[in-house]
Chains A and B, each alone.
Chain A
């Protein structure tokens, strides 16, 4: 019987455009790319040249500071561009795929018979390492370290997020292998968070934890904070469950197969469902022809809380398995909005009447719906922040960059995503996730 954690704080935002379990066509992308900006804590060094022929699993880029971390091509084909921006910053490394994907052969391996270092080496060589994230700092993990424990939250709770039970269908063996591999990397345990009745509740060799409650129940921080919180000086790793499957595939099939299902959601999509795609594909290959209106829309790689704004020409986020399309709203002018009932607008606070509307599905646009102010209201963040941390005080310490205070208040335990709901409900419309990300980056520089 798994341990059960019940969280009360949090918020499920009921948005229109939920996906059902149907497989849509699409996912054939004209180009694939690695975008360094998707990886936190990585300084890109491009090793492939334009014109190089690559296979799926061939190295395109490494981390300058930790050269053992490799970023590989998700498909076979030809490197057709290395796009650079201001100060020669690498924007993307683009590969035009072959008709048939050829894979770099890494050899099938029986994880049970491998040592930790061998698992690590296999993952590094096949470009699986960037899937492993490290706390503190929420960056791509440093391979040289040994984490206290590894945490995998094997479900999603964000608005319109994919159903992990559907993603893992038919790949349960790969998921188990992935977890076995991760277990080799730590001296502690692998904790796996699940919902009640999860498709993966039979997994072995891990500490299963059942989590009940609203979003952010699936955030790794919730699992960590309620099982074994991070103390100063400790390191833990987290891996997204969909990426655990890809890691497992490496050992079971001997190839770097980055194929994954991506869910297409949001009120402005014509049809919702899942697309079978490969990491690094273009947004167009996923939602091309599926946007329902000609009006301004916002396409988001990821969910509405933590995703990235993208255009059709951009690429799917490295950790994303969701596309959300919502109205941009920049042509909307609501007259005297602050005085109107606005039952079509969602608010967690009871100052609008949406709380009387029952289980209504909302169409929310990207407007921030108010002016930016100093922090005025208290207890707003706390209501949606289910960790034993005072979010407001931590945020203030980050803004002031008072390192002692940040440490004391729990900066090492959090990732920017934990503050997403706080940012959503904030009366003062402060960009909290940005504050946390900048704070973590600065702290990392200061400490290393």
Chain B
């Protein structure tokens, strides 16, 4: 470590103002602070600081995302094998999925971090860590067959227009990863919905080539529910027509976006986020409550197949759990007051179920529900803070 430190100290002057490589100052600084905790000491105010910083925060979120990501990779392989009717074993299944997902992660990071580095240098700021999380979220919330160029375009759009124009990490109004997803959803609808995009039937780098079996359908459970009619609906089936139940939704070996299918893996992440206190249990919990309440209301009406879906199925299907745990809890774009978090979370959950059930076009509503509530989060906070203000004013009159 000492040698590395000495090397950094040796090359550092090149990157400082007036140095040969000053144009890469932010990049150097970014790497240096990643390797070594900055040894800058406090100038004013408190003399000691908590050891948490935004790098640690983002690292914890990434660790929490890993179970869902690894499971997602396996599931990509699993769904593929189901479609072509082969069983190459656990390892090969995982490797297939890994190779299918990895390019998406690379593209998302290269494009997003490239823009971040450029903007940081341009603004003469430190590189911010926010995109480390967004960059891994993006590949996890897209269908497996999304072309890489689409991910690149959408990521660039989201990072520039949802984040940098507002001032960077901490200033954005919308969740960056969700804006990426929304951009893909509206700009390339054919590649984002329907029955063809959720299961990869082609080979990956020559691995897993095969013919699709008869009777294959790549529709997600939510897709099936949305298009079914109440009289003829026989229940949700997997890609080769076998019936599946809540337990399968929970474990996650079903078609869907890469990281969203396994509620089990997502719950592991949720536990990590809640123990470390990075995500708010208030937001997370109230999303599930909101979704359940809305689902029960629809159950009582029950005039379409969607309306009959029970609360637990709503929780387990589609991106509900993933959105609740990883997306809606983004502290920057969610409500920031504690009371506001209950309201925000409840409305996200309720909205997601309303969109799922009532909207004929979109079988899934989580993305739009969170983006919608991102808009309302400041309003919710405004009223919570306003209550404090009027309490103070009343006190003065007394």
Contact B331 A336 (CB under 8 A): no
Rounded to whole angstroms, the CA-CA distance of A306 and B46 in the bound complex is 6
B268 at the interface (CB under 8 A from A): no
- Nearest to A436 among chain B residues (CB) is B45
A24 at the interface (CB under 8 A from B): no
A387-429 to B contact mask, C-beta < 8 Å, 1/0? 0111011000000000000001110000000001001111111
With contacts A326-B48, A336-B35, A410-B392 known, is A377 near B385, CB below 8 A? Answer: no
Q: Which residues in chain B, 44-86, are within 8 Å of chain A measured between CB atoms?
A: 44-57, 59-60
Rounded to whole angstroms, the CA-CA distance of A33 and B227 in the bound complex is 84
Contact B39 A431 (CB under 8 A): no
A side interface size, CB within 8 A: 74
Instruction: Please name all residues of chain A whose beta carbon is closer than 8 Å to the beta carbon of B39 when the two chains form the complex.
Output: 329-333, 367
Contact B276 A350 (CB under 8 A): yes
Instruction: Please name all residues of chain B whose beta carbon is closer than 8 Å to the beta carbon of A306 when the two chains form the complex.
Output: 46
A224-250 to B contact mask, C-beta < 8 Å, 1/0? 000001011100000000000000000
Contact A375 B170 (CB under 8 A): yes
> Which stretch (A85-93, A118-126, A337-345) binds chain B?
A337-345
B90 at the interface (CB under 8 A from A): no
Instruction: Please name all residues of chain A whose beta carbon is closer than 8 Å to the beta carbon of B52 when the two chains form the complex.
Output: 347-349, 351-352, 370, 425, 427
Rounded to whole angstroms, the CA-CA distance of A352 and B277 in the bound complex is 11
Rounded to whole angstroms, the CA-CA distance of A330 and B40 in the bound complex is 6
B123 at the interface (CB under 8 A from A): no
How close is A234's CB to chain B, nearest CB, in angstroms? 8
Instruction: Please name all residues of chain A whose beta carbon is closer than 8 Å to the beta carbon of B301 when the two chains form the complex.
Output: none
- Nearest to A232 among chain B residues (CB) is B396
A104 at the interface (CB under 8 A from B): no
Contact A408 B54 (CB under 8 A): no
Instruction: Please name all residues of chain A whose beta carbon is closer than 8 Å to the beta carbon of B336 when the two chains form the complex.
Output: 378-379, 392
Rounded to whole angstroms, the CA-CA distance of A323 and B315 in the bound complex is 56
With contacts A392-B336, A427-B54 known, is A368 near B168, CB below 8 A? Answer: no
Rounded to whole angstroms, the CA-CA distance of A434 and B38 in the bound complex is 21
Contact B44 A408 (CB under 8 A): no
With contacts A349-B52, A351-B52 known, is A368 near B44, CB below 8 A? Answer: no
> Which stretch (A45-53, A199-207, A268-276, A297-305) binds chain B?
A297-305
B side interface size, CB within 8 A: 59
Rounded to whole angstroms, the CA-CA distance of A379 and B278 in the bound complex is 10
- Nearest to A11 among chain B residues (CB) is B50
Rounded to whole angstroms, the CA-CA distance of A231 and B393 in the bound complex is 8
B42 at the interface (CB under 8 A from A): yes
- Nearest to B282 among chain A residues (CB) is A379
How close is B136's CB to chain A, nearest CB, in angstroms? 15
B165 at the interface (CB under 8 A from A): no
- Nearest to A233 among chain B residues (CB) is B396
With contacts A379-B338, A427-B54 known, is A364 near B48, CB below 8 A? Answer: yes
B395 at the interface (CB under 8 A from A): yes
Contact A231 B395 (CB under 8 A): yes
B245 at the interface (CB under 8 A from A): no
Contact B126 A298 (CB under 8 A): no
Contact B41 A349 (CB under 8 A): no
How close is B372's CB to chain A, nearest CB, in angstroms? 19
Q: Could you list 28 examples of A-B contacts with CB < 8 Å?
A: A300-B47, A305-B47, A331-B39, A335-B36, A349-B52, A352-B51, A352-B56, A365-B48, A366-B47, A368-B49, A369-B37, A369-B38, A370-B49, A370-B54, A374-B168, A376-B130, A377-B57, A378-B331, A378-B336, A388-B388, A393-B381, A420-B45, A426-B50, A428-B54, A431-B44, A433-B45, A434-B44, A434-B45
Q: Give A residues with C-beta under 8 Å from B.
A: 13, 15, 229, 231-233, 298, 300, 304-307, 309, 324, 326, 328-339, 342, 345-352, 354, 364-379, 382, 388-390, 392-393, 408-410, 420, 423-429, 431-434
